[in-house]
Amino acid sequence: MKLIHTTKIKSNDVILIPIPKNFKGKEFYTSIKYADYIIYEKPNIENSKIIRKKTIESFRKSKLEDFNWTFFLNPLASDLVVLDFDDIECTERKIKFLRDNNPEFNLKWLVFQKELLEKTFSVRTPSGGIHYYIKRPSKLIQERKIGAIKVNLHLNGDLLKSYKEKFDTIDKKVDVIKIDYLPKGLVIAPGLSLKEINKKGFIQDRDYRILNNSNIQSVSEDLENILCYIFAQTEGKSKEEKKRRIIIKDRKEGSLDIDTIISETIKKEKELENIKGIILNTEQMKELRKKYDEVNKKLLNASEKDSLILQGYQNAYSYEMQEIEKNLKTKLENEIKELLCSNIETEQIFNINYKYDIASTLFNRNSEFHSFPPNLIKKVNDAKEGQRSEIEMAFITNLKVRNFPDTYIIYMVRKHFSKRTKCISSPKFLEQALRVGETLKHFPQYLNNQDTTWVNILMSISILRQIDFRVFSKRNSEKMRLALDVFFNLASINNDLEINMNLKEISLLSNGRINNKSLKEYLKIFEKHKIIENIEWMDYNQNRMAYPIKFTLKSLTTLKIPKKLDLPRFIPQDGNQPLVYIPSIGEKGMQIIELLRQHDFLSASEIYAYFTDIKDHRRVIYKTIQTLLRYQVVIKKNEKLELSGKPLNQIYEKFVNEKFGKKNIEKKERALNPLKRKITNYKQEAYFINKRREKG
């Protein structure tokens, strides 16, 4: 005899409570006083056994099947939660109002609805409501919350006022939305019919029919954030974890003023841009200028012999002026570096900028590289009042989905956005846009305008995070991910799937340690698997496919991926920084750092879970973690790993200093700056390429 009328809910999920099969006109009651017998700390099955025993003892003539068996939820024993949507028409109207007036709520609700509610097991209640059954492993909320959505958290000012006016007449409890969050307590089980029950004076049969017979969905980590937002609740985690969270926040926000660092940096960067103008106004420079001009006058009437001497003077003066400019430039650059690299947060800004700066020095490009589509900034600043929020959102979404850190985005906004923009004029808009971007990063399928190129590229970047590249080649799969990642990032910057850039530059712009030779090999593999097409090779030397002049990426949205990774693998935008060049840290090390940036702290086994595609992942990741611990990139606190907070560049410098000491100064200098070293090598190569080509 089955007491549960569905296979989707197992007996260890719930405690079974007897209720009468027919209420005979009475109001709802349970057949026994279950509360006296339940011991929360025990597994549900044991509690159910006790209840059954007590039931048989109390009703000696009855059998188990003479009762209906309903559910009691015990948050200590199971992560099953029921979301009870009451008064569904009014609820839906209220939700619609929130969605229309709060873009962040709109997106998060959409994801919540599509990814959880519509996919999970649900039951139609007799009042027309719906019970959604979900599993929430975090067990963040352990008490019943009736009317769990507080409207004033999602609306403010005039919007809240007009909301209240609109719903005041319909609903007494206007401030809340009638969605009950039930992790604990009694719930009428699916498949039951409460015969002849008295509900508010009416006697009727009340049926609980299964509406969606899918499996019960578990709340993934990404959805967890959305649930936290919708059912705003920050409590519930263990005291120790809460405390740690506060400590980490203190370190990130309290102890240093990131805003000041960013604005100081921008100020200095502007000085650097206007360096010529600034120098001209210094006393020292005025003096030199004066002397220079005087000599110039003398030159007009000077004899041939004198003019040689005067020209010598002139050269000396202009050299001195150049030196002043150079010194001030170096001084400013060092100050910027010192500012940004003083802490682990803003250091990312430096490392990302450095990547683009250094890459542009390889072939002495006049136009520098950007991290974003350059014309987007123009659009942002030129936008009319009504279009602003959409265009600014597009900018932030682009950087966010491509996994740029928030600090970097804030820096970009402060640097490039005009005062009229929404991001600058209302900081709350920027905060909200960043949170919306965060959601889209994890749920890219909800990006608007899917048919446009720029969204298509963002989708592709999201997809490549979950490709298991070993299906394409036995080669090192993470390097292939790096290659495709940099290609699509460049496509995003140019808003064009065609790439015509030197592979050496691409190597420098990548988010990891990959050289042009490997990029070339991967190009061929990608072409074979139709991810890249129309490669135009430079074949000056007997059809040897020396290097690609241009090639075209194909959107990954239509690509059929035979095997996906369980969890997306995010490559940090500052992944090509010196730290990666410490032996046995590498890309894996950066990916672990990225994980810790996103989660604040994780246990070793939680980190392993992200690399299960590697057969021997525990051993492999273990080694990387050990190295990170050895260099104090991460530290261990109560069995959890977290970033130590030491700037990564400082750690790398220390590593080089210890390795070379005072010996091998030349090698040390090279080692201190791996990207510069790469450029020197590439330049030397280019020199010989030209030489060979001239020979024929």
Partner DNA sequence: CTACTCTGTCAGTTCTTAGC
Partner DNA sequence: GCTAAGAACTGACAGAGTAG
**Which residues contribute to the site for DNA (CB under 7 A)?**
474-479, 503-504, 513-518, 521, 538, 541, 544, 546-547, 581-588, 603-605, 608, 614-620, 622-624, 626, 670-671, 674, 677-678, 681, 684-689, 692
- Our CB check for DNA shows the closer of 181 and 608 to be 608
CA distance 187 to 177: 19
| Shortest Å, Cβ 296 to DNA | 45
Q: Do 13 and 80 contact (CB within 8 A), yes or no?
A: yes
| Shortest Å, Cβ 406 to DNA | 27
User: What's the one-letter identity of residue 65?
Assistant: E
The residues, any chain, with a CB within 8 Å of residue 344's CB and separated by 6 or more, are: 643, 645, 646, 647, 648
CA distance 474 to 518: 14
| Shortest Å, Cβ 555 to DNA | 25
Q: Hey, what long-range contacts does 97-101 have (CB within 8 A, 24 or more apart)? A: 97/163, 97/166, 97/167, 98/151, 98/154, 98/155, 98/163, 98/177, 101/155, 101/159, 101/163
- Our CB check for DNA shows the closer of 22 and 684 to be 684
| Shortest Å, Cβ 330 to DNA | 24
| Shortest Å, Cβ 661 to DNA | 15
- What six digits make up the tokens of 243? 């405390």
The SS3 call for residue 399 is helix
Scanning the structure block, which residue is given the tokens 């349970």?
A: 30
- Our CB check for DNA shows the closer of 125 and 477 to be 477
If one counts every other C-beta atom within 10 angstroms of the C-beta of residue 465, the result is: 19
What is the DSSP pairing of strand 80-85 with strand 130-135? antiparallel
CA distance 594 to 579: 13
- Our CB check for DNA shows the closer of 82 and 582 to be 582
- Our CB check for DNA shows the closer of 379 and 475 to be 475
- Our CB check for DNA shows the closer of 61 and 691 to be 691
CA distance 222 to 464: 18
- What six digits make up the tokens of 370? 């950007």
Cβ density class 367-386: b for 16+ within 10 Å, e for less:
eebebbbeebbeebbebeee
- Residue 136, φ and ψ in degrees, nearest 5: -125, 95
| Shortest Å, Cβ 460 to DNA | 22
CA distance 642 to 600: 6
| Shortest Å, Cβ 632 to DNA | 16
| Shortest Å, Cβ 543 to DNA | 10
- Describe the strand order of the beta sheet including 634-637 as a list of residue ranges: 601-603, 640-643, 634-637
| Shortest Å, Cβ 483 to DNA | 9
Interhelix angle 304-340/283-301, rounded to 10 degrees, is 160
| Shortest Å, Cβ 227 to DNA | 25
| Shortest Å, Cβ 10 to DNA | 19
CA distance 75 to 682: 61
- Our CB check for DNA shows the closer of 48 and 576 to be 576
Q: Do 12 and 43 contact (CB within 8 A), yes or no?
A: yes
CA distance 619 to 632: 20
Q: What is the 3-state secondary structure (H, E, C) of 297-329?
A: HHHHHCCHHHHHHHHHHHHHHHHHHHHHHHHHH
- Our CB check for DNA shows the closer of 408 and 472 to be 472
CA distance 52 to 153: 44
What is 522-544 written as a DSSP string? HHHHHHHTTSEEEEEEE-TTTT-
- Our CB check for DNA shows the closer of 312 and 661 to be 661
- Our CB check for DNA shows the closer of 150 and 667 to be 667
| Shortest Å, Cβ 549 to DNA | 10
Q: What is the 3-state secondary structure (H, E, C) of 67-90?
A: EEEEEEECCCCCCEEEEEECCHHH
CA distance 524 to 50: 67
| Shortest Å, Cβ 609 to DNA | 8
Q: Do 413 and 424 contact (CB within 8 A), yes or no?
A: yes
- Our CB check for DNA shows the closer of 176 and 546 to be 546
- Our CB check for DNA shows the closer of 36 and 616 to be 616
User: What's the one-letter identity of residue 103?
Assistant: P
| Shortest Å, Cβ 659 to DNA | 9
- Our CB check for DNA shows the closer of 231 and 469 to be 469
- Our CB check for DNA shows the closer of 107 and 503 to be 503
- Our CB check for DNA shows the closer of 617 and 646 to be 617
| Shortest Å, Cβ 586 to DNA | 3
